[in-house]
Amino acid sequence: MDIQTLNSGNTAWIMVSTILVLLMSIPGIALFYGGLVRRKNILSIVMQTLFIVGIVSILWIAFGYSWAFDTSFAEEGNPLAFLMGGFDKAFLRGIDIHTLTTGDIPELVFVMFQCMFAIITPALILGAFAERIKFSGYIVFITLWVILAYFPMAHWVWGGGFLQQMGAIDFAGGTVVHINAGISALVMAVMLGKRMDYRIGHPITPHNVTYVFMGTSFLWLGWFGFNAGSGLAADGLAANAFLVTHIATAMAAITWMVMDWICNKKPTTIGACTGAVAGLVAITPAAGTVDLLGAFCIGIITPVVCFFMVAAVKPHFKYDDALDAFGVHGVGGIIGSVLTGVFATRFITGEGGVQGALYGDWHQLWVQILTTLISIVFSAIVTYVLFKIVDATVGLRVDKRVEEEGLDIYEHGESAYNR
């Protein structure tokens, strides 16, 4: 395309959005999860997060972007087109500083923007197996998971795959990011087993609640790039995504705080932060299709369900989802994906656009439910198979002594707090 068609405003906004999404991983997830674990394990969380940023960036440029967004296999009639886009854009072949995508932004910017989504997704899984996973096994598992779980899902939903063709709505990652990571987190938590000192009714105290708050703040801030940037333009759609993201998150934080107050007699900082994250997760797939009504409803419904999952379902089934990666991200992603099919409105999508069951179009709701179910099954199967392979070869669970003394010293030879 002619370089004169480049839109500098849109380009600048997506570059800023890319930086904001990176803030969600480092330092957002690192601080949020790091504060929730015990002081002897915070550096293990930091290292796991930092490793993801490095390895996923390399894989994305090498072949991940091409796998997800290339169209050569479909054009050639290659049967692998169901699983991947192709490899014509491996190592960004054919993309230079003049190559544009979506009509008016450099494709290099789009590559980087999508790279940040690929980074944040596996980082969310860390909360499920915190404080008990071997770093060497983790490296192998996460690397394979990104290749075999994230890249195909990104192609199916955003890169022209069958879910996108079916009409599934996932504006910024409800299925690709949150259901994908959340279901994988649950499978990992169950298969890896509980921490040695995990006891039902006796929660392990977070070592630094201030870090949790700081991490939540970075996540909330970064999520504006996550959602408002996903329209790839600085326009009215971005403005709406910006608005509904904030309102749903604010509503969810207050709702969780109130439930905490009612059920546990105290409004806690961790509760409010968890509620905010649940709201951010659930509004993600819907941010490009719902208005304020949808934002308020999603912001109320999601924390209620997630609170129930964390406070009642997890203790009942006795699985150790250490930092509630499934209870918040998995469940929040499922709720958001389904409710998108309820609250989507032509007030946002425009004349002839999609609308949800609330406005008379039940078809979109069924599409969302089917897409959600497919995402759940796919993520669970891939994670189960990878766990079995990696655990049988490299090993995934640390020794009892390492878990007791702390991963920071034994796995990394460092301590976060020294006198």
Say how far apart CA 304 and CA 252 lie, in whole Å. Answer: 9
Give the closest residue to 172 by CA, choosing from 251, 283, 278: 283
- pLDDT higher than 90, residue 304: yes
Give the closest residue to 406 by CA, choosing from 43, 14, 35, 87: 43
What is the arithmetic mean of pLDDT over 338-357? 94
Three-state SS at 199: strand
Say how far apart CA 238 and CA 12 lie, in whole Å. Answer: 13
For the chain, what is the mean pLDDT?
A: 95
- pLDDT higher than 70, residue 3: no
State the Cα torsion 372-378-379-383 to the nearest 10°. Answer: 160
Domains and CATH numbers, the chain: 3-411 (1.10.3430.10)
Q: Is 195 left (phi over 0), alpha (psi -120 to 50) or beta?
A: beta
Say how far apart CA 356 and CA 338 lie, in whole Å. Answer: 10
Say how far apart CA 347 and CA 383 lie, in whole Å. Answer: 39
pLDDT at residue 153, as a whole number: 97
Q: DSSP label at 168?
A: -
Per-residue pLDDT of 260-303, as tens digits, reads 999 999 999 999 999 999 999 999 999 999 999 999 999 999 99
The H-assigned helical ranges of 146-267 are 151-158, 162-166, 180-192, 209-228, 236-264
Per-residue pLDDT of 235-261, as tens digits, reads 999 999 999 999 999 999 999 999 999
Q: Tokens 């819907």 map to which residue?
A: 286
* Cβ-contact 30, 42 below 8 angstroms: no
User: By CB neighbour count within 10 A (0-12 exposed, 13-18 middle, 19+ buried), where does 241 fall?
Assistant: buried
C-beta atoms surrounding 108 within 10 Å: 16
Give the closest residue to 171 by CA, choosing from 183, 157, 160: 157
Per-residue pLDDT of 76-133, as tens digits, reads 989 899 999 999 999 999 999 999 987 799 999 999 999 999 999 999 999 999 999 9
Indicate the pLDDT class of residue 15, thresholds 50, 70 and 90: very high
pLDDT at residue 199, as a whole number: 84
User: By CB neighbour count within 10 A (0-12 exposed, 13-18 middle, 19+ buried), where does 217 fall?
Assistant: middle
pLDDT at residue 191, as a whole number: 96
Angle at 192 between CA 190 and CA 197, to 5 degrees: 95
Q: Is 149 left (phi over 0), alpha (psi -120 to 50) or beta?
A: alpha
- pLDDT higher than 80, residue 336: yes
Q: Are strands 105-106 and 100-101 parallel, antiparallel or unpaired?
A: antiparallel
- pLDDT higher than 50, residue 161: yes
Specify the pTM: 0.95
pLDDT at residue 1, as a whole number: 37
- pLDDT higher than 90, residue 201: no
C-beta atoms surrounding 97 within 10 Å: 8
Per-residue pLDDT of 357-392, as tens digits, reads 999 999 999 999 999 999 999 999 999 999 999 999
3-state helix, strand, coil split of the chain in percent (to 5) is: 70, 0, 25
Integer CA distances (angstroms), 405 to 150, 267, 402, in order: 34, 32, 5
What is the arithmetic mean of pLDDT over 1-19? 85
- Picking from 2-11, 231-240, 350-359, which range would have the lowest pLDDT averaged per residue? 2-11
Q: What sign for the dihedral angle of Cα 86, 92, 93, 96? A: positive
Give the closest residue to 65 by CA, choosing from 119, 26, 25: 119
Per-residue pLDDT of 25-82, as tens digits, reads 999 999 999 999 999 999 999 999 999 999 999 999 999 999 999 999 999 989 899 9
- pLDDT higher than 80, residue 395: yes
Say how far apart CA 17 and CA 225 lie, in whole Å. Answer: 4
DSSP letters of 65-133? HHHHH--HHHHHT-GGGGT---STTGGGTT--TT-EETTTEEHHHHHHHHHHHHHHHHHHHTTTSTTSB
Alpha carbon 33 to chain centroid, angstroms: 14
Integer CA distances (angstroms), 377 to 161, 188, 274, 370, 384, in order: 17, 14, 26, 11, 11
pLDDT at residue 4, as a whole number: 59
Say how far apart CA 233 and CA 105 lie, in whole Å. Answer: 9
Say how far apart CA 145 and CA 138 lie, in whole Å. Answer: 10
